[in-house]
Structure 1
Amino acid sequence: MRHYYTNEPYKGAEAIIVAMDIGTTQTAVSLAHFFPGIKTQIRMVTLWPKGKHDNVMKIPSLVSYQKGKVKACGAEAVRDLEEQPQNVACWFKLHLHPAAMATPNSQRFEIPPLPIGVTIERVYADFMRYLLKNTQQFFEATVHNGKEIWGRVRDTIVIVLATPNGWELREQSTLRKAAIKASLVTEGNADQLLQFVTEAEASVHYALANQSDEWLKEDTKFAVVDCGGSTIDTTIYQCTSIDPLRLNEACPSECIQAGGIFVDREIEKMLKERLLGSSFDDPEIIRDTVKFFEDEVKPYFDGIMAEFNFKIGSVTDNDPSREINKGQIAVCGEDLKRAFDAVIDRIIESCFEPLTSKVKYVLLVGGFAESPYVRRVLQNIMDPKGIQTIVAGDYSMKAAAGGAMIGRTKQLVIARAVKATFGGCVRQNYDKKLHSGRKNAAQPYPDGKMRVDGAFHVWVKKGAILLGTLAHKLSYHVAWDAVSTSRSELVNRLGTTEVEVFAWEGDDCPIWCKDERGVVLNGMRHICTLNANLSALAGGLQIKDGPRGTKFYRVDYDVCIYFGGTQLHAKLQWKEKGLFCEGPVTVIPSVA
């Protein structure tokens, strides 16, 4: 990746931003030092322990453990993976993938287990700590007065994490806890210093910064297909301005569980079937042979050669019945094609229809898209449809790591599409037309109105295009009967006030999120629960007059929603007689 510069000298306060792309098999880190009056330079971290040579831009995503403690990370953990794989967290990113990303084939995919007693949060924390430590050493070794500068701004360093399109609150919450545990940020400043960007959006920034953009005109629609190690992310953009360059998401992004590691597993399955019952039917031998394929064949396979030789065992090993000669096993090109096609078919299935109807160009990025065979197959499919494929990649680096930093500084994407319909589970006024199916469930509320539980109140609809930062306030209230509710009970109830947040993936807007028993309906996904301890308000509440002489307590509150960047933030605000209390900020990933 060539150095990327902003157009104007920086005018803000001094700062350092570190962007991490922790992939399934490979990880990369970029950083930038912002100093007043100087044009900001984005650089990849290229000094890592035990690298084969300097200037390596990505390292293996590995963490090895010994007796419950971290032993090694990155390239230093490769030998442990070969000798004691049960002690190494390998492909650990797969443990965070939500079920919604899985395809029928990937659901049968066996994820390597984590070392005994090690959680996924612990692995990410240990690996993040390792990444930041080496990033600091790289900065101090390559920047004049680097040690002094790092020490000066260490407590305000912004960490940007690139994540798949399909990762939402659960996944971001795990990464947030890991970042705090790793001391990248603190509990108090995580909301300001820890940021997320989707891998697809990071990749579009990288692609546009490193490719000729003569094809890009105003109103042009194009797609970015990010083919990673374990996910395929597809996002469609529309160019709204050339000078300055501005992009809008044209529709909700897609993300499926597929990618380069699934080809490795197809090769592993093929080898197991072929070597069954032989002296080579050994997990370690097969693992080493798959590793040879991954390093020496997969990046360069073009589908043209009729046969390949994989290293297997030693030079003295022979088995003519299985085409093994002098430690090499012959594998025909058609078998390799089938392994690749099993994954390419999933890519086509997930993105072919929206691409062919909406775009003129497709930018291919990500490590799996570096495969000449993958490029050729996708080009052969897109060309007859009049879609031009543009390859934007560099096998020596990870596009998302550099793109995450470019996105943080350039901010080309100014509008994003909501991926699902989000709303709250509420007790709604009974409407005989709308709620006729639950007439018997309607009950009088302390404020005198007939209400039904389990209703879905829409906050933002799927597919809505949000421009820039949007703030929206929704007014709600809760009430309790003043006669049957004691002050102590009121304090207890205010201490556990909450609003459940749900997402609906369909294109319609459902009426309900729960059935009459309070069970969440199929297809309705619980995102989080906004809550706060508001017991301090109890002393200021006044008894209000209800219908027919009833008395009740009432608390009015707002759910405040803020759309900005790649996340939706929501918080609760209560107001009563001049008293004010705000619930904790909760991140709801609604836009990618």
Structure 2
Amino acid sequence: MHGLLSAYSPLSKVIRKKGIPYLCSPMPPSTRTPYTGSSRKLVLAFDVGTTYSGISYSILDPGQVPEIKGVTRFPAQEKVGGSSKIPTVIYYDKAGKVRAVGAEALRESLRDTIEDEGWVKAEWFKLHMRPKAITSSNPMDKIPPLPAGKSVVDLFGDFIRYLYSCAKLYITESHANGTQLWSSVERTIDFVLTHPNGWEGGQQQQMRKAAIQAGLVPDTIEGHARIRFVTEGEASLHFCIQSGLTTEALKSGGGVMIVDAGGGTIDLSAYGEGPTKGTFEEIASPQCHLQGSVYVTIRARTFLENYLRESKFVEDVEAMTEYFDKSAKLTFDSNPLFIKFGGARDRDPKLRIRGGQLTLSGTEVAAFFEPSVSCIIRAIKMQCMAAKKPISSLFLVGGFSASEYLFSKLKEELAPLGPNVCRPDSHLNKAVADGAVSFYLDHVVAMRVSRFLYGTKCKVNYDRKRADHVLRFAGVFNDVDGIPCLAGSFDVILPKDVQVSETQEFRKHYIQKAFDRIGLEAATSLIYCYRGALEKPLWWNGSSDFSALCTIKADTSKISRCLKPRLTTWGQTYYEMFFDIVLSFGLTELTAQIAWLEDGVEKRSPAKIVYDVDA
């Protein structure tokens, strides 16, 4: 965007902290060019995480080199000097009205009010937006339900409305002439929303709807264009680039892997140097797994509930779980863990409780982590095998990456594979928000890899010489023009694991027939993702291997008005319309067009993409 290139740094150096390597590098001098726009602009990036959320931004002034800044002060924060993130928590009253959000929702002074007035807590709601295709089969997947009468879009809308108000407050208070600055840009703000690697068009559609509901942009074509999406993996890559962490890693000609370990999801992305200097390309299909840090907490809670079920301390499980989640989870390092929850009189040696403190063995606590750690290690090995270049460095970012146990296990298990495993020594939880702004400014990923095989269902002329056609003879029918046809053929538009540039188009030629022009005034095509084992499926069979991605809808009335009548062999008039569906998969959001010839000249029209959000 705006022709700006990313920054690179001098040689990074490795330091040691508690015996664990951290990658430490000074922020490199920026090589971005000055902003070439004619007027001031504001870019806001919202990273709505499962457990914590953050905001980064950049003020673009004509002739000035843009800088990325973070919102580090939020209402009701306890930390002196602020923090880069706030809890992703909302409290609603019985009438469904928002009463407290973020750090404000966790104030001790609210506890009595919450209990007396029956407020409902909404947390981890991001995971309710996940596609069915990556829903965890883990029996520990006990995600809190949504508040009654609220959809996940409602919650997203309420939360990003709050993030927007926090950004406005911070910018107006932190910049000279802040109020005037804000008023000069607020009607044209561009927003970047991040999402896990596994979220697809349906989830982007819900997030855009939430942004409109929150009042960020109007529900117009121009308003929609002010919202952009980027995966958390790609945003994290941009963060690593602007921090200078990838420079040395790519000198050998190998690739880098970004493992964004967050509260809900684990996102893996692999990149190598792109086709032109200063660009990057995906070298393996990105992955997304529901094994983030909240699942460690869920397993801990389940253990505590079972362990203390017959004791009076079962009522303290909530306090124990909270202490584990907030204080003990990230510092655990295989040694016994002490969970504080009560006072000196809380004692039961048989249950290993003394002085209001429960002692758990390292083996017990490791079991809480094991499924997540195993999943991450397995996914990294798969990504290394699939990558088109050898992985020389692995960067671990995200809130869960601060876990000493997780990092040490990755170092231990991945040592034989060769890649250098490291993590930035600071701001682990702001990588996505900062990287999202860098994505907008620098936009260095030139090629992405298709995660699935994409195609559409269509009819084909019956061919009695083909065995697969003969097997389906019972389904033969005569088309409008009398030619025998078979329905259910699957036409591949984009194969899996193909590198796609941002400008590359995938198009297929289609024919639609009808007895009158009215029947051809609109074209509709259902696009499917194929997740099965076949390299090139020939027939759609209705199995779970095929999932509906979206419906492409186009106004073809301009084409139909120009059609000339044709005659069947029995003298019936009919019309035949030829057009192409043109899809662009290389951007972070799917785009579609239809194309047709008019007097020998190709014409195009945007096509509307409607997603099945339950897919």
User: Using the alignment, how far apart are the partners of 2:47 and 2:525 within structure 1?
Assistant: 33
Q: How many residues align?
A: 570
Output aligned runs, 1:192-591, within 5 Å. 192-212=225-245, 213-217=247-251, 219-240=253-274, 244-282=277-315, 285-303=316-334, 305=335, 307-355=336-384, 358-392=390-424, 394=426, 397-432=429-464, 433=466, 434-481=468-515, 491=518, 493-494=519-520, 497-506=523-532, 508-514=535-541, 520-532=542-554, 541-572=563-594, 582=605, 584-586=607-609
CA distance in 1, matches of 2:608, 2:503: 17
Match of 2:10 in 1: none
Alpha-carbon shift at residue 539 of structure 1 (Å) = 6.0
Greater Cα shift, 265-274 or 350-359: 350-359
SS at match of 1:549: coil
Pairwise CA distance, 1:3: 9.3
C-alpha displacement at 1:480, in angstroms?
A: 1.5
Q: For the structure 1 residues 136 and 544, does the alpha-carbon distance in structure 2 shift closer, same or farther, using more than 3 Å as the test? A: same
Q: What pairs with 1:84-95 in structure 2 (closer than 5 Å)?
A: 87-95=120-128
- Would you say 1:72 and 2:100 are equivalent positions? yes
SS in 2 for 1:427: strand
Task: Measure, in 2, the Cα distance between the counterparts of 1:81 and 1:560.
Answer: 55
Deviation at 1:247, TM superposition (A): 1.4
Per-residue CA deviations over 1:536-588 (Å, capped at 9, x if unaligned) read 87666542233453320233333121234322211345677999894643278
User: How far is the alpha carbon of 1:273 from its aligned partner?
Assistant: 1.8
CA drift of 1:153 comes to: 2.3
In structure 2, stretches of 5+ residues that fail to align are: 1-25
The 3 A distance-change label for structure 1 pair 229 and 438 is same
2:548 maps to amino acid: H
- Residue by residue over 1:32-88, the C-alpha shift from the partner in whole angstroms, topping out at 9 and shown as x without a partner, is 011111110101111211011333100000111111111111011125689559711
Scaled by the length of structure 1, the TM-score of the pair is 0.89
Deviation at 1:400, TM superposition (A): 0.8
Q: Is the 8 A contact 2:398 2:428 kept in 1?
A: no
* Residue number in structure 2 paired with 1:486: none
- Give, as a single letter, the amino acid of the residue that structure 2 aligns with 1:62: V
Take 1:81 and 1:178, find their aligned partners in 2: how far apart are those partners? 29
Deviation of 1:456 after TM superposition, in Å, equals 1.4
Cα pair distance change 1:63/1:495, threshold 3 Å: farther
Distance in 2, matches of 1:34 and 1:327, equals 54
Equivalent position amino acid for 2:98 in 1: V
Q: Which residue of 1 aligns with 2:7?
A: none
Cα distance change of structure 1 residues 452 and 81 upon mapping to structure 2, 3 Å threshold? farther
Corresponding residue of 1:117 = 149
CA contact (8 A) 1:228 1:368 kept: yes
Query: Does residue 1:56 correspond to 2:89, yes or no?
Result: no
The one of 57, 63, 70 equivalent to 1:44 is: 70
Deviation readout 1:220-275 (Å, 9 max, x if unpaired): 1221111111111111212247x943211112111111110111112112211221
C-alpha distance in 2, partners of 1:353/1:582?
A: 40
Q: Pick one of 28, 38, 43 that aligns with 1:17.
A: 43
* Residue 512 of structure 1, CA deviation: 1.6
> Is the 8 Å Cα contact of residues 90 and 98 (structure 2) preserved in structure 1?
yes
CA contact (8 A) 1:393 1:399 kept: no
Query: Could you tell me how far 1:103 is from its partner in structure 2?
Result: 4.0
The change in CA–CA distance for 1:356 and 1:473 in structure 2 (over 3 A counts) is closer
Cα deviation code 1:423-482 (max 9, x no counterpart): 122122223315232123222222343322122111111111012322344332311235
* Change in 2 beyond 3 A, CA 1:263/1:96: same
Question: What's the RMSD between the two structures over aligned residues?
Answer: 2.7
- Which blocks of at least 5 consecutive residues in structure 1 are unaligned? 483-489, 515-519
* Stretch of structure 1 that moved more, 147-156 or 43-52: 147-156
Distance 1:560 1:110, change over 3 A: same
Q: Is the 8 A contact 2:257 2:268 kept in 1?
A: yes
**Structure 2 residue identity aligned to 1:50:** A
Whether the aligned pair in 2 keeps the contact of 1:64 and 1:81 (CA below 8 Å) is no
Partner of 2:217: 185
Which secondary structure state, in structure 1, belongs to the residue aligned with residue 55 of structure 2? strand
Work out which structure has the larger RCO, using CA pairs closer than 8 Å and 6 or more positions apart in sequence: 2
Question: CA–CA distance in 1 between the matches of 2:420 and 2:561?
Answer: 67
Distance 1:153 1:415 in 2: 32
Contact 2:249 2:256 (8 Å CA) reproduced: no
On the 8 A contact 1:61/1:74 being kept in 2, the answer is yes
Q: Distance in 1 between matches of 2:514 and 2:360?
A: 73
Distance 1:87 1:144, change over 3 A: same
Aligned to 1:132, the other structure's residue is in SS state helix
Stretch of structure 1 that moved more, 495-504 or 398-407: 495-504
**C-alpha distance in 1, partners of 2:422/2:428?**
18
Partner of 2:197: 165
Tell me if structure 1 keeps the 8 A contact 2:447–2:586: no
Distance between the aligned counterparts of 1:527 and 1:73, measured in 2? 33
The answer as to whether partners of 1:207 and 1:365 remain within 8 angstroms in 2 is no
Tell me, in whole angstroms, the C-alpha distance in 2 between the residues paired with 1:129 and 1:562: 31
